[in-house]
Amino acid sequence: MEDFLYFFSFQDSSIAFIVLGITILGIGSAYVGTFSFLDNKALLGDAISHSVLPGICLGFLLAGEKNPLYIVGGAIISGSAATFLTSWLKSNTKLSEDSIIATVLSTFFGFGIVLLTVIQKTGNPEMAGLNQFIFGNAIGILEEDLWVYGGLSLIIILSLSLLMKEFSLLVFNQEFGRAIGYPMDFIRLVFNILMILSVVIGIQAIGVVLMAALLITPGAAARFWTDRLSTLLILAGLFAVISGITGTYISFVLPKMPTGPWVVVCLSFLALISFLFAPKKGILFRYISRRKYLRKTHRDHVLKSLFKATEEGKKGLNKNELLSLYPHHKKETLGSISYLLKHNQLNNIQGLIELSESGKTEAKRIVRLHRLWESYLNEYMNIAPDHVHDSAEKLEHLITPELEELLDNRLRYPKLDPHQENIPRDHDDI
Amino acid sequence: MMTFDQNAFLIISTASMIAISCGLLGVFMMLRKMSMTGDAISHAVLPGIVIGYFISGSQRGVEVIIGAGLLGILATLIIDFLRKKAKVQLDASIGITFTLLFAIGIILINLLAYKVDLDQECVLYGEIAYLPIDLWITNSGFSMGPRITWLALLNLLLVGSFIFLLFKELKLTSFDEGFGMVMGIPAGAINLALMSMVSYTTVSSFDAVGAILVVALLVVPPATAFLWTKDIKSLIKLTIGIGIGISVLGYYLAFLADSSIAGMMVTVGGAVFLISAVLTSKKFKFRLGTQSNQEAFNS
């Protein structure tokens, strides 16, 4: 608890600095990552983040120390080489995109490890700092380095915000952008550079292997909550910042813990919540709305059976007759009956279940839609009358009043369907 | 220097066996467009390894292999779940799954550091150079030779017989899953079996070449071979050849540069891949005029 207060009251200026740095950095990577997620290129970020390792090692070898300028420079060069190679291979070989990304990623990383072992053998005492690029350590970032990285993150955020329109064109409809005269290849180049920059900065905190999470997960999670680009970007940034600060806090309390893994676990947790509980797109929500829909269709079927019974001259059906119509759906049928009774669409008169007035109207509507659709299929698609029932069984729940009007008009308000059954109208008496 | 060196022979042959096992599986992963899933599995087995290690108390326990195998399957299931149930696009589901599992692995290593003698670097890079001193000693104290070589041999035999026995099924489901289903081949089961073989191979090789370089061996030789041929049998033969070639070259280059052998193998593999890509690329062929008329017509 003391640690918690100490950390979050920011009385230690270096902690305040680091939290600020993590915030900017998280927003930057989430921002870039969301765009590449929307571009269906989520794993390109993974490829880039593994590929910067040789560049970092080369920068280290050249500078002889952990000079941020050399390291960022080296990383940018090898990251660009990997990006260029990926697109060159894509247009010049027959390999599929995932093979290309996996190949580029693992080869660059392998080469990076060769360089890393070479550095290890030189016995340079600063070597220890290099390991932190692999797993990330936000607490270990030096204050003077923070200026460089924070500045670069700000540049990323600013340029993405200023060129928002161009990048949305790139992501959503490149061809359209080209047609109206935007230099799409140049925009992609700028975007790739921003992506490489954000990877280079991000790996300070989260490490080479896990950097992909900081790019992919916030965007993927936020996508569940909204369809608007601006909200999406803000949410993704928020997820990244929350996780970044949590991860930093944990590696502050447990100094041996690298920051990266905790950031990733926290991000994935937020993503899991989004996948499960987000309205409209979440698994739970979709499950519930599917159940609702299935119940509704079953109720429609019960109403329809009762309507057919009245057509045959009965007043209604008793419970057992209704249950025997749907042999494997006892629970659903009972549920439908009690729902319809409660909503006054059915009347239970001494065990005989009958349609009420409002129930009749509803039942007529469903049967009408069913038979109209059958007629339409028969007349306009030339489908034989004995083949139209199944399709109508599905469409009767979906046809809107507007569509019904259109069908009716097209069929010139028919009286009979292809099976010579009456198409019931609202004013008809049954 | 070129006299017969027993250690060099052991290392090269072990590396070749690992490269061949990975390459054989990699061919099918590539044909199924699942190279990145292989990448994800090799990261995702980490928590399984750590937990297995924790339970058995040694790196050699069966628990380690079982743990890793289970995690590999779990990873494929999570990817499938995210893709089908949560409707996340495939590449993003792969990215989310493997980073999460890898992160959990690293956290477990750090939490159990006092109990588990595994360090993160070893998991990532492995070191095949220590192979000759890591001996398999039987209970009676008799030395059977390097442990990893035996593991690699066992792995190669299992992978080899897996591919040999299920060749028809693997081929069919790789090219046309629907047709395979019609023929009565359980595509889902075949897929899971392939994934389990990949996770088993990853574990069995990880202390020699490390988790990430396993991916390179899974992906790079088949991709290189695919640039040259389309026929599946020659694809497999070429993959095996490339696997052996990069093991030999990688070993001697690493010896010269005094660096990680596994890393150098991958670097050599990458170089071979790049050269092949340039030689077989459309533009290059066009410039040299080596395209046959038929090919020129098609492109």
CATH code assigned at B160: 1.10.3470.10
CATH 1.10.3470.10 fits A11-278, yes or no: yes
pLDDT band at B169 (very low <50, low <70, confident <90, very high): confident
Q: What is the pLDDT of residue B270?
A: 92
Q: Which one of B85, B93, B96 would you mutate to disrupt binding with A, by most A Cβ within 10 Å of its Cβ?
A: B96
Contact A283 B85 (CB under 8 A): yes
Contact B259 A121 (CB under 8 A): yes
In a domain, B111, yes or no: yes
What is the DSSP code string of A233-298? HHHHHHHHHHHHHHHHHHHHHSTTS-HHHHHHHHHHHHHHHHHHH-TTTSHHHHHHHHHHHHHHHH
SS3 A348: strand
Of A364, A327, A332, A358, nearest to A343 by C-alpha is: A358
User: Does A262 reach chain B within 8 Å, measured CB to CB?
Assistant: yes
In a domain, B91, yes or no: yes
How many CB pairs (< 8 A) connect A and B? 203
pLDDT band at B46 (very low <50, low <70, confident <90, very high): confident
Q: Which residue of B has its CA nearest to A107?
A: B270
pLDDT band at B242 (very low <50, low <70, confident <90, very high): very high
Task: Give the domain ranges of chain A.
Answer: 11-278, 285-355
In a 10 Å sphere around its CB, with 0-12 CB exposed, 13-18 middle and 19+ buried, how is residue A175 labelled? exposed
Nearest to A216 among B34, B96, B262 (CB): B96
User: Does A95 reach chain B within 8 Å, measured CB to CB?
Assistant: yes
Residue B1 scores a pLDDT above 50: no
Q: What is the pLDDT of residue B296?
A: 47
Of A117, A86, A110, nearest to B266 by C-alpha is: A110
In a domain, B77, yes or no: yes
Question: Does the ipTM surpass 0.90?
Answer: no
In a domain, B48, yes or no: yes
Collect all residues of chain B within an 8 Å Cβ-Cβ radius of residue A40.
89, 91
User: Does A134 reach chain B within 8 Å, measured CB to CB?
Assistant: yes
Domain that holds residue B218: 6-277
B136 φ/ψ angles, rounded to the nearest 5 degrees: -95, 115
Nearest to A220 among B85, B88, B258 (CB): B88
β-bridge pairing A346-349 and B143-146: unpaired
Contact B103 A216 (CB under 8 A): no
pLDDT band at B130 (very low <50, low <70, confident <90, very high): low
Q: How far apart are CA B212 and CA B260, in angstroms?
A: 13
Written as six digits, the tokens of A241 are 């910042």
Nearest to A93 among B98, B113, B280 (CB): B280
Q: How far apart are CA A179 and CA A163, in angstroms?
A: 18
Name which of A29-33, A98-102, B97-101, B280-284 the model is least confident about. Answer: B280-284
Say how many C-beta atoms besides its own lie within 10 A of residue B172's C-beta: 19
Nearest to A110 among B30, B94, B267 (CB): B267
Nearest to A265 among B100, B264, B273 (CB): B100
Contact A51, A77 (CB under 8 A): no
Q: What is the pLDDT of residue A110?
A: 86
Identify the helix (H) or strand (E) that includes residue A110.
Answer: helix A97-122
Collect all residues of chain A within an 8 Å Cβ-Cβ radius of residue B113.
256
Residue B40 scores a pLDDT above 60: yes
Q: How far apart are CA A189 and CA B171, in angstroms?
A: 39
CA B13 to chain centre: 16
In a domain, B59, yes or no: yes
Contact A374, A392 (CB under 8 A): yes
User: Does A268 reach chain B within 8 Å, measured CB to CB?
Assistant: yes
Q: What is the pLDDT of residue B290?
A: 53
Q: Which residue of B has its CA nearest to A41?
A: B91
Written as six digits, the tokens of A277 are 């509980």
Q: Which one of A39, A98, A250 would you mutate to disrupt binding with B, by most B Cβ within 10 Å of its Cβ?
A: A98
Nearest to A213 among B99, B220, B227 (CB): B99
In a domain, B148, yes or no: yes
In a domain, B285, yes or no: no
Q: How far apart are CA A149 and CA A143, in angstroms?
A: 10
Written as six digits, the tokens of A128 are 């220890």
Q: What is the pLDDT of residue B216?
A: 86
Instruction: Say how many domains are in chain B.
Output: 1
Collect all residues of chain B within an 8 Å Cβ-Cβ radius of residue A99.
30, 33, 35, 219, 222-223, 226
Nearest to A265 among B107, B210, B212 (CB): B107
A409: left (phi over 0), alpha (psi -120 to 50) or beta: alpha
Collect all residues of chain B within an 8 Å Cβ-Cβ radius of residue A98.
33-36, 91
Dihedral, CA of residue B187, residue B190, residue B192 and residue B194, to nearest 10? -130
Contact B92 A220 (CB under 8 A): yes
User: Does A261 reach chain B within 8 Å, measured CB to CB?
Assistant: yes
Collect all residues of chain A within an 8 Å Cβ-Cβ radius of residue B262.
110, 113
In a domain, B202, yes or no: yes
Using CB atoms and an 8 Å cut-off, which of residues 48-87 of chain A contact chain B? 50, 85
Mean pLDDT estimate for chain B: 81
Q: What is the pLDDT of residue B299?
A: 45
Collect all residues of chain A within an 8 Å Cβ-Cβ radius of residue B266.
106-107, 109-111, 113
Collect all residues of chain A within an 8 Å Cβ-Cβ radius of residue B215.
102, 105-106
Q: How far apart are CA A314 and CA A335, in angstroms?
A: 23
For domain A285-355, the CATH class is: mainly alpha
Written as six digits, the tokens of A401 are 């009043």
Q: How far apart are CA B268 and CA B250, in angstroms?
A: 6
First to last CA, chain A: 75
Collect all residues of chain A within an 8 Å Cβ-Cβ radius of residue B38.
102
Contact B259 A135 (CB under 8 A): no
pLDDT in tens, chain A (430 residues): 677 777 777 777 777 888 888 888 889 899 999 998 998 888 888 889 889 989 988 988 888 777 778 888 898 899 999 999 998 898 888 888 888 998 998 899 888 888 888 887 777 676 666 777 777 777 777 777 778 888 888 898 899 889 888 888 888 888 898 899 888 889 988 888 888 888 888 887 788 888 888 899 999 999 999 989 889 999 999 999 999 888 888 888 887 777 888 889 999 999 999 998 888 888 899 999 999 999 999 898 888 888 888 888 888 888 888 888 888 888 888 888 888 888 888 888 888 888 888 888 888 889 999 998 999 988 888 888 888 888 888 888 888 889 988 988 888 888 888 888 888 887 776 5
